[in-house]
Amino acid sequence: MRLAIQAVFLLATLMWLVAAQADFYAVLGLKKGASDKDIKKAYRTLSKKYHPDKNPGNEEAHQTFIEIGEAYEVLSDEEKRGKYDKFGHEGLKNGGGGGTNPFDLFAQFFGGGGGGQRRGVPKGPNTETHIDVSMKRMFKGFDMDLQVNLQGICSSCKGSGSADGVNHKCDGCDGSGVVIQVAQMGMMIQKFQQQCPKCQGKGHLISNPCNKCGGQKVQREDRKYNVYIEPGTPRVHSYSFEEEADKSPDHVAGDLIVQVREAPTENMGYRRRRNDLFRTEALSLKEALHGGWTRKIPFLDEESEVVLSRKKGEPTQHGHIEVIKNHGMPQMGVDDSHGDLYIKYVIVMPMGASSKVRDEL
């Protein structure tokens, strides 16, 4: 009887442990087979919602934030996701997942979160890059994967510059990084201190330089980032990735600044001023005088049309501006808020039309 009770208890414990391993798709509010875009979108929304900075003292939110990070780490990686879909959590053992700090993951996804400058260590310069994005894409918003070539810590010597990892004390300054110079000025002898020219003030020398970086401690590398271009992003807008600029063991990395600029292409005939859109529409003299016309113009969302029309007998003046409310660019960061669309009508005069006709219009 006692053995039977122990067996039931053990089975219940195992079932609880299996249940405690949350379904990664359920954590992100998704179903199996969700697209990469849906996974990124869900992570973006939930990680912001449950970030500890927005929920101070809330341990439950903190744990949820960790689970969200674990789920995204696995489902955003094609290899890990394949193992998880086939074998579940069992397939992720032995280094298959869960090794990334959720705060580092959050910082890499959104930029920022690097923890600030270390005391006493100088911060290096920022690195700027830019991408051109069409107005059409800025209207709808989208995820962009960006690859930037930057300076990183040498992967072979880990930033020491030495092939054997040993730095030898400089014999020119005895490791102090400075030397004392003596100069005689007339009857006076003056001593002054300056940076050691042999070790450039470091106090040590590299006897066996790293083969990969040649003792420079750094190397060029391609780094990948995800930038979410929000709907209604301004014509020029910068996204910052904290401490992701050129790296060096001698300073804290500056910030990587990604500047998004509106491209002159794919504007579909629209112009922009802040959140308002502008368009010029040409009418024939007959249309302007007699009305009775309808135009259907493709819009930036590529799903709807702007319908312009005049009833028969309804004239249109040259230079008249028609305002279509709430049909401009989205307001960045504000749901269901748009600028206005301004349509300016110009009348194309036929050959030989008199100046009197033009003036009357």
Residue 278 belongs to domain with CATH number: 2.60.260.20
The model's pLDDT over 51-102, given as tens digits with 9 standing for 90+, comes to 877 787 788 888 888 888 888 888 888 888 888 888 777 767 655 555 566 6
The model's pLDDT over 161-177, given as tens digits with 9 standing for 90+, comes to 777 766 777 877 777 77
- The per-residue pLDDT for 19 is 41
- Which residue blocks in the chain are alpha helix, DSSP H? 2-20, 24-27, 36-50, 59-75, 78-87, 102-110, 135-140, 285-290, 355-360
For the chain, what is the mean pLDDT? 79
Question: Within 10 Å of residue 257's Cβ, how many Cβ atoms?
Answer: 17
If asked whether residues 172 and 106 sit together in one domain, one would say no
Residue 278 has pLDDT above 90, yes or no: yes
If asked whether residues 96 and 174 sit together in one domain, one would say no
With contact defined as beta carbons under 8 Å apart, do 173 and 179 qualify? yes
Q: Is residue 160 part of a domain?
A: no
With contact defined as beta carbons under 8 Å apart, do 98 and 21 qualify? no
If asked whether residues 99 and 31 sit together in one domain, one would say yes
Average pLDDT of span 261-265: 86
Domain at 50, CATH number: 1.10.287.110
If asked whether residues 175 and 92 sit together in one domain, one would say no
If asked whether residues 23 and 102 sit together in one domain, one would say yes
- The per-residue pLDDT for 93 is 65
Domain extent for 178: 168-205
When divided into structural domains, the chain yields a total of 3
Q: Is residue 56 part of a domain?
A: yes
If asked whether residues 105 and 172 sit together in one domain, one would say no
- The per-residue pLDDT for 55 is 80
Return d(Cα 46, Cα 139) in angstroms, integer.
23
Last residue of one domain, picked from the residues 205, 222, 257 = 205
Return d(Cα 84, Cα 329) in angstroms, integer.
41
Helix (H) or strand (E) holding 278: strand 276-284
If asked whether residues 177 and 103 sit together in one domain, one would say no
Q: Is residue 345 part of a domain?
A: yes
Residue 115 has pLDDT above 70, yes or no: no
Q: Is residue 211 part of a domain?
A: no
If asked whether residues 7 and 104 sit together in one domain, one would say yes
Q: Is residue 223 part of a domain?
A: no
- Left if phi > 0, otherwise alpha if psi is -120 to 50, otherwise beta: which for 219? beta
Last residue of one domain, picked from the residues 94, 110, 126 = 110
Return d(Cα 283, Cα 298) in angstroms, integer.
17
Last residue of one domain, picked from the residues 110, 126, 149 = 110
If asked whether residues 100 and 190 sit together in one domain, one would say no
Would you place residue 5 in the very low, low, confident or very high pLDDT band (cuts 50, 70, 90)? very low
Average pLDDT of span 284-302: 88
If asked whether residues 101 and 173 sit together in one domain, one would say no
Tell me if the pTM is above 0.75: no
If asked whether residues 16 and 105 sit together in one domain, one would say yes
If asked whether residues 96 and 172 sit together in one domain, one would say no
Q: Is residue 41 part of a domain?
A: yes
